[in-house]
């Protein structure tokens, strides 16, 4: 696995994959509830993932609404279905866990959607931050609720994160 870290307006991010496809985009540092840590078999290459870096810069500047990068997502069939549903949530919009469950054809599976959402290995690009509680409140997010709010505010045009 090849990896690098980058600074972003929402803190340090870890990017990892096979060199051509991204399989991890993880928040690092304070507030991150779910962090991926490189192990000794991983190789750091700070020149890798140039296209992903550029697309993230555009996203944080408010000029990119979706991503065009090759992903290597690994999960169960259920998780992959949920993650595909997340990618279909339009920029600047949110969906509830129940709405995602209905979209993947399992009406009473909001909790299972929450678990799959929490296992999303590619934050921001697979926009798990766009999933909220049934009442619209912010709920769990691997990067922490402050980051989730910042990403949603950016997409709603209420916050400019790029410097």
Tens digit of each residue's pLDDT (9 = 90 or more) over 86-117: 999 999 999 999 899 988 877 678 888 888 98
Determine contact, residues 94/131, Cβ cutoff 8 Å. Answer: yes
Query: What are the distances in angstroms from CA 10 to CA 101, 123, 125?
Result: 28, 12, 14
For residue 76, give both structure tokens. 């169960």
Determine contact, residues 52/36, Cβ cutoff 8 Å. Answer: no
Active site residues: 128
Tens digit of each residue's pLDDT (9 = 90 or more) over 6-19: 999 999 999 999 98
Residues 6+ apart with CB under 8 A from 52: 15, 22, 25, 67, 69, 125
> Which CATH class for the 77-141 domain?
mainly alpha
Residues 6+ apart with CB under 8 A from 146: 31
- CA atoms of 40 and 68, how far apart (whole Å): 30
Band (163; pLDDT cuts 50, 70, 90):
very low
- CA atoms of 4 and 43, how far apart (whole Å): 9
């Amino acid at each position: 696995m090849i990896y690098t870290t980058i600074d972003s307006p929402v803190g340090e991010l870890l990017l990892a994959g096979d060199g051509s496809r991204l399989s991890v985009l993880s928040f690092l540092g304070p507030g991150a509830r779910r962090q991926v840590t490189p192990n000794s078999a991983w190789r750091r290459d700070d020149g890798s993932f140039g296209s992903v870096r550029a697309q993230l810069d555009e996203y944080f500047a408010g000029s990119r609404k979706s991503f065009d990068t090759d992903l290597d997502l690994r999960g169960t069939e259920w998780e992959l279905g949920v993650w595909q549903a997340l990618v279909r949530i339009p920029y600047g919009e949110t969906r509830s866990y129940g709405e995602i469950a209905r979209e993947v054809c399992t009406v009473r599976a909001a909790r299972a959607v929450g678990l799959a959402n929490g296992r999303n290995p590619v934050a921001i690009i697979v926009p798990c931050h766009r999933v909220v509680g049934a009442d619209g409140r912010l709920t769990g997010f691997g990067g922490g609720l402050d980051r989730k709010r910042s990403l949603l505010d950016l997409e709603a045009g209420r916050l400019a994160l790029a410097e």
